[in-house]
Amino acid sequence: MTSQPAVELLIGELFQEDFLRKQIVREMSDLMSGRSDGHHVLGYEAGEGDLRDCVSSKLQSDPQQKADHRLTFREIPAMNLEGPLNGRELLAVRPRHGAGNVYEQTSARLDRDLQSKQPDLDRFGHRPASSGGNEAQRQAERDMQRAIAHAWTGQKPLTTSRPLATTQFGARGPRPTPATIPTRER
């Protein structure tokens, strides 16, 4: 097995100009830098699951239409991570409505039943699912939810989550040096 790429990844203009992809990358960057705290805190709704510890960001797949996709994430306290910073665990990017929507996907990733409340999440309050309120109200909810998440030792990242930083992206151990990278005979 080699650590070197097996193929060279090529992308065309169509992919480079994809509006939704650009929005996802920008929102991820904004979440990482702290320029964004997401749009609204999620809640519990039977059929969509208990996502009271999650936040949603709105994304558009078409610049001429309303936001029809959501990116979901949750706050993870630094004490449950390997580094000194608190974390934001990205969970899903999917359409807002329809089969396999973002809420179903997020619940599935977190291994949560769509019909049941999670008793451990009662610490986040009993917020119904909605994005209502003005920006000041939504910011206050996000701030409160983040403070609760950062104080809760039970808020741990999924075992499949990895840091997204240029120096750590995809890393699962020490970075290989040229002397330790195996070569492949042709």
Q: Is residue 107 part of a domain?
A: yes
Backbone angles phi, psi at 23, to 5 degrees: -65, -40
Residue 87 domain boundaries: 16-151
For residue 184, is it within any domain? no
Q: Is 177 inside a domain boundary?
A: no
Answer yes or no: is 59 within a domain.
yes
**H or E element in which residue 150 lies:** helix 135-151
* Euclidean distance between the first and the last CA atom of the chain, given in angstroms as a whole number: 14
Q: Across-strand partners of 88?
A: 75
Number of domains in the chain: 1
**pLDDT higher than threshold 70 for residue 60:** yes
pLDDT at 156: 86
> Would residue 104 count as lying in a domain?
yes
185 lies in some domain: no
Note the pLDDT of residue 129.
60
| Band of residue 186 on the pLDDT scale cut at 50, 70, 90 | very low
Residue 35 has pLDDT above 70, yes or no: yes
Summarised one tens digit per residue, pLDDT across range 140-180 is: 888 888 888 888 888 888 888 877 654 544 444 444 444 44
